Amino acid sequence: MKSPLKNQWVLITGASSGFGAAAAQAFAAHGAKLLLGARRVDRLEKIAATAKQSGATAAHFHALDVSQTASVETFMAWAKKTIVNRKSPIANLHVLVNNAGGAHGLDTVASAKDADWETTFQTNVLGLLRVTRAALPLMLHDAGASIINIGSIAGHAAYAGAAAYCAAKSGELAITRALRHELFGTGIRVGTIDPGLAETEFSNVRFKGDQKKADEVYAGMNPLTAADIAETIVWVASRPPHVNIDEILIKPTDQTDMGKVFRRKA
């Protein structure tokens, strides 16, 4: 059976690692056409090449820093130019995956740094808003298009050391819900996928390159994988146009709550 994503344009932010890179491969397997953005362009180049081998009808990439309005606007102008050609004169972005983001530090409010708070909000909250604002003119009404935001279990509960990250992911949830109201009647679908612990580069980034600390986060438990989330993103995007998957909370079986993780002894 032909996938509803075949030949459809899919834009993924934060496609250079983790969920975004895995989503590129998962959409590629459905024959989608990819627009990939992140700051590490060398990585995007490799991911786009692999996606083409995995079945992507097209795989293009461009530098994107979601924390900078000018970068988002340049990126989206490039995306529009890439989509629009003589055969298809109207931009028809089918799926926007707002995935770029992450946590910076695990410090209490009493000891955290402005720079970490600012990066957290610039990427997870303002970046999501900027990219969506710039992408909306490229999305057709009533064509089964989707905006899929990546939230977190951290948007549903709080834990010590993550005040800014939890606030940012609560913000992502609020933005998703507001957008759902704003786009009501356009046929553009809006939803959020909110994962629990998943082993990607997330913890390495949070702990500023300290891989030992990052590994401890997943010690003795079976975390989610990037492929698990990519599969979910593609499932959401491939529902029939009248179905809007609003919110999904997805956790490892070994995690029931933020701090409640089952760990096997070595």
Supply the residues annotated as catalytic. Answer: 165
How far is Cα 171 from Cα 167, in angstroms, rounded to an integer?
6
Taking CB under 6 A as the criterion, the residue among 10, 79, 197, 233 binding ligand 8X3 is: 197
Taking CB under 6 A as the criterion, the residue among 195, 230, 237, 261 binding ligand NDP is: 195
Closest contact distance (angstroms) between CB of 179 and ligand 8X3 is 20
> Which of ligand 8X3, ligand NDP, none does residue 255 bind (CB under 5 to 8 Å by kind)?
none
Question: Any contact of residue 155 with ligand NDP (CB under 6 A)?
Answer: no
222: burial class by Cβ within 10 Å (0-12, 13-18, 19+)?
middle
Q: Which residues contact 212 (CB under 8 A, 6 or more apart)?
A: none
Name the one range near ligand NDP by CB under 6 A: 96-104, 133-141, 207-215, 231-239. 96-104
> Which of ligand 8X3, ligand NDP, none does residue 99 bind (CB under 5 to 8 Å by kind)?
ligand NDP
Question: Any contact of residue 139 with ligand 8X3 (CB under 6 A)?
Answer: no
**CB contact at 8 A, 179 and 171:** no
Total of chain residues touching ligand NDP, rule CB under 6 A: 30
111: burial class by Cβ within 10 Å (0-12, 13-18, 19+)?
exposed
Question: Any contact of residue 150 with ligand 8X3 (CB under 6 A)?
Answer: no
Question: Any contact of residue 46 with ligand NDP (CB under 6 A)?
Answer: no
Neighbours of 108 (CB within 10 A): 11
Question: Any contact of residue 75 with ligand NDP (CB under 6 A)?
Answer: no
User: And the tokens for 90?
Assistant: 């109207």
Taking CB under 6 A as the criterion, the residue among 152, 176, 232, 238 binding ligand NDP is: 152
Helix, strand, or coil (residue 30): coil
CA-to-CA dists, residue 240 to 9, 119, 182, 264, angstroms: 17, 36, 21, 41
The binding site for ligand 8X3 (CB under 6 A) comprises 152-154, 162, 196-197, 202, 258
